[in-house]
Amino acid sequence: METELLSPAERWPEADLERVEACPVCGKRDRSRLHADLRDRVFRCAPGAWSLCRCDGCGSAYLDPRPTPASIGRAYATYHTHQAVSTATQTPPDLRRRSKPLRSALRSDYLNARYGYCFRTALPLGRLLLSPRQRCEADRWIRHLHLQDGSPRLLDLGCGNGEFVARMREAGWEAEGLEVDAQAVRFAREAGLAVRHEALTEDTFPPERFDAITLSHVIEHLHDPAETLRICRRILCPGGVLWIATPNLGALGRERYGADWLGLDPPRHLVLFTPESLRGLLERLGFTTVGGPFANQSAKWSFRASTAIALGSAEPLNRRALQRLSRTLDNKVKREAARADRESLRRPERAEELILLAQKPA
């Protein structure tokens, strides 16, 4: 790490760093440097300059050195989970915004027909009338999960303020969450949600407790992603499903923006996956990949933030800041993002988000 260019106040303390001698995904040691001298230009609260290495074996990327587990919390001082839970959970926010009641009813019909839910105000034929983009957004909102019979149990690991827990509880799941961010847990509990303030360990839950586990932009933050996924397999029921969303190292946006790409987000993102490396890890742990990569429409957000990073934005890139910045972006960036989202419908392995659905064998 190029600390000679940084003053002491700008460095991550040497005593709070650890070396990563082998790939956290596959264990191989051969690697090359993908990016050097990366800084926290997203939430702008973590000091330090960081190197991102790419594994010559599986193709994943990882920070070396990186913050220790005991010190990494300092990188989350202004993180986006610090907000209250929205009470509008029945209709997807991206589907509800600027939508007429008729359009929302058509989308509810699609979700009910495809995934077995019972969302209110569904209008017949919605499943036939939605565009591919609208279906993609609806799929992502319920994380490609079919509602199972009875009272299926769901765990949202790294649930933030619990918004997804609330949504799926209303949708028919017995949903709970785990979260290490104390402020986010407080918001979730104030909303009456079953959210525990702790990390997942071997002893957190008994074996075969859950029918589904979801990790939305969590796995890239873990020091040992393989160990967490191993525990997930243990606490899933036979036939249970594991849903993962994470930044896609093979995304068009990473090629477009390089070191300015939003998905890098050092030092919070410790490990980044390609579709092949994440699928390989899941299979080595005994999962069967049953879905994905899935198309998603996240390029608009990713390109907007990456452009702000490239332009040297001096403020943390939370949602409100990006909404302001989007009004100043030139039309070329907006057109490129729209093209990237359309491309993800055809080639989901190049989407900004890597989304896979895996299953524990019955």
66 and 162 in a single domain? The answer is: no
Alpha-carbon distance of 311 to 260, in angstroms, equals 9
Judge whether 129 lies within some domain: no
pLDDT tens across the length of the chain (362 residues): 444 567 777 899 999 999 999 999 999 999 999 999 999 999 999 999 999 999 999 999 999 999 999 999 999 988 765 566 654 444 444 444 445 677 778 889 999 999 999 988 888 888 898 999 999 999 999 999 999 999 999 999 999 999 999 999 999 999 999 999 999 999 999 999 999 999 999 999 999 999 999 999 999 999 999 999 999 999 999 999 999 999 999 999 999 999 999 999 999 999 999 999 999 999 999 999 999 999 999 998 899 899 989 988 777 777 677 666 666 667 889 899 999 999 999 999 999 999 999 999 99
Last residue of a domain, one of 76, 109, 134: 76
44 and 163 in a single domain? The answer is: no
Judge whether 98 lies within some domain: no
- Domain count along the chain: 2
State the CATH number of the domain containing residue 303. 3.40.50.150
Domain that holds residue 348: 151-359
66 and 186 in a single domain? The answer is: no
Contact 314, 158 (CB under 8 A): no
Angle between helix 299-310 and 319-326 (nearest 10): 80
* Own/partner pairs, 238-241, CB within 8 angstroms, 24+ separation: 238/208, 238/360, 238/361, 238/362, 239/359, 239/360, 239/361, 239/362, 240/208, 240/210, 240/211, 240/212, 240/213, 240/359, 240/360, 241/145, 241/211, 241/212, 241/213, 241/290, 241/357, 241/358, 241/359, 241/360
Q: Copy the structure tokens of residue 12.
A: 């991550």
168 and 316 in a single domain? The answer is: yes
